[in-house]
Chains A and B, each alone.
Chain A
């Protein structure tokens, strides 16, 4: 018997502590007609599921659950898909254990 309990990513992120810098997202997706393969990959591999494809087929980001790991930066900053900064001091993820 194989039992794999899949949890929702929202439930995982719910355990974390964040101080969201409302109105000042630290990562932005540059406007695009169709997403590059790397940008599209982020909709699957971002560990906080920040990236999603919208109805128009473009990739959007909501940074609220971001853990500031930098995976998207490594994949997508150099080709200009995204703009990456760290949140302002004190904002963003606040690990209790790390």
Chain B
């Protein structure tokens, strides 16, 4: 294989790697994709929600054979304290459409399918192969990769780094910095299996309708974090993620947070009687726009989680991964067609495509949010959730207290906890970061 030269080598068979490899292979480029797992997906972890629109741009008829679990008709946002949740639910029959907008998926199955499409398109996919080092010439230009298989360098005009949040190659080669503890969240997740009809009954779903719960509050014990529950066909993905910096300073055990979340009175009945079949952990890039590294150079580009392309506010990671993978693929094809070399200058086409797309527009929009949530974590993840629960309870509990007194108690509690000035400034800062 070492004598053969490829148009492109893609490192990794996750969402971004598969999107890049598929885009290039289907446009006729000679692509080699390297994956360290036993099969594509065996190293990949996600919640997981698939955003149809982005995949549709790449594979328009994916619904015909992709392994999809449930299409989402209901989204619940919960603010939790230790015994309660205050929620907003959005459910609409509009989501029961011909081409549903969002689906739950199981990554090990989905990635296997996506990788199959890369092969069908003519790409070479080599699993059980860990790329150990980038090969660079004297000028620093990336010219290929070294792997843990016998044989020398595998050469390519360009290497696409789709190596995920914990990508070693780019950081080792000095192409980007290691993610900072305050820019990555550690999420832990369990797969809870239940009969299909029980899931449908508990969440009020019919056939392949699905429901999502995203929950914040005291469950993250004062750290910036979020819990989630996604309904699959016959399982529930349940997890919680917190910033690594938060975990390191509080020394909280992630699996203890997960167990407490599972034991919360609002969650416990939803998973009662389930059989747990897997426990997974994964890093999620949370640094947003300001943490995005250099995305291209001579002979290389970086996509997806490795490039910190994750919209934490809207919880779109795989979406940005697929979009960036497609845009890299299209850029490389475009450069190739006009006979250009894979230089830094030419590959900047990828960055300008990203800048014009929703990927960078969305990330730029929320650029101040990570820092806001990080520096105000006690208020946003402990104080407010407790106050909101108290307010809701004051509102609904009937115990002979005149309403005017309950309402006064509610506003007094908010002022006592955050002060008038604090409340206004929190609201203003949140609004500015959201803008």
- Does B127 make an interface contact (CB < 8 A)? yes
Which listed residue (A12, A16, A71, A77) contacts B244, Cβ 8 A?
Answer: A71
What residues on B are CB-neighbors of A16 within 8 Å? 278-280
Evaluate contact between A69 and B128: CB separation under 8 angstroms.
Answer: no
What residues on A are CB-neighbors of B179 within 8 Å? 74
Evaluate contact between A84 and B283: CB separation under 8 angstroms.
Answer: no
| A48-79 at interface with B (beta carbon < 8 Å) | 48-49, 67-71, 73-75, 77-78
Which listed residue (B130, B184, B191, B260) contacts A97, Cβ 8 A?
Answer: B191
Tell me the complex Cα distance, A15–B235, Å: 15
- Does B216 make an interface contact (CB < 8 A)? no
- Does B222 make an interface contact (CB < 8 A)? no
A66 shortest CB reach to chain B, Å: 9
A29 shortest CB reach to chain B, Å: 16
| A19-69 at interface with B (beta carbon < 8 Å) | 19, 38, 41, 44-45, 47-49, 67-69
Evaluate contact between A95 and B43: CB separation under 8 angstroms.
Answer: yes
Choose the segment among B245-253, B358-366, B380-388, B412-420 that binds chain A (4+ C-beta atoms closer than 8 Å): B245-253
Tell me the complex Cα distance, A75–B108, Å: 28
Evaluate contact between A93 and B248: CB separation under 8 angstroms.
Answer: no
Tell me the complex Cα distance, A98–B283, Å: 13
Query: What is the total number of residues of chain B having a CB less than 8 Å from a CB of chain A?
Result: 60
Size category of the binding interface on chain A: 35 or more
| Residue interface bits B240-268, CB-to-A below 8 A is 1, else 0 | 00001001100111111001101101001
A22 shortest CB reach to chain B, Å: 16
B194 shortest CB reach to chain A, Å: 14
- Does A82 make an interface contact (CB < 8 A)? no
Which listed residue (B37, B181, B188, B268) contacts A47, Cβ 8 A?
Answer: B188
Given contacts A67-B280, A74-B184, contact A88 B108 (CB under 8 A): no
B18 shortest CB reach to chain A, Å: 14
Tell me the complex Cα distance, A95–B149, Å: 22
Which listed residue (B132, B248, B252) contacts A38, Cβ 8 A?
Answer: B248
- Does B281 make an interface contact (CB < 8 A)? yes
Evaluate contact between A89 and B147: CB separation under 8 angstroms.
Answer: yes
What residues on A are CB-neighbors of B262 within 8 Å? 5
Tell me the complex Cα distance, A4–B42, Å: 31
Chain B residue with the shortest CB-CB distance to A41 = B248
Tell me the complex Cα distance, A5–B260, Å: 8
Tell me the complex Cα distance, A70–B279, Å: 16
Which of B132, B235, B247 has its CB near the most chain A CB atoms (within 10 A)? B247
Which listed residue (B129, B277, B282) contacts A96, Cβ 8 A?
Answer: B277
What residues on B are CB-neighbors of A12 within 8 Å? 190, 255, 276, 279
* In the complex, the 8 A-B pairs of residues with the closest C-beta atoms, listed nearest first: A70-B166, A90-B128, A98-B107, A47-B281, A4-B263, A89-B128, A12-B279, A69-B281
Given contacts A75-B181, A90-B128, A94-B43, 19 further A-B contacts (CB under 8 A): A5-B262, A15-B277, A44-B252, A45-B248, A45-B251, A45-B252, A45-B253, A69-B281, A73-B178, A75-B248, A78-B178, A89-B129, A89-B148, A95-B45, A95-B108, A96-B278, A97-B106, A97-B108, A97-B191
Interface residues of B, Cβ cutoff 8 Å to A: 36-38, 41-46, 48, 83, 106-109, 111, 127-130, 132, 147-149, 165-166, 168, 178-181, 184, 186, 188, 190-191, 235, 244, 247-248, 251-256, 259-260, 262-263, 265, 268, 276-283
**Cβ contacts A to B, 7 pairs, < 8 Å:** A5-B262, A6-B256, A70-B283, A71-B281, A85-B132, A87-B36, A94-B42
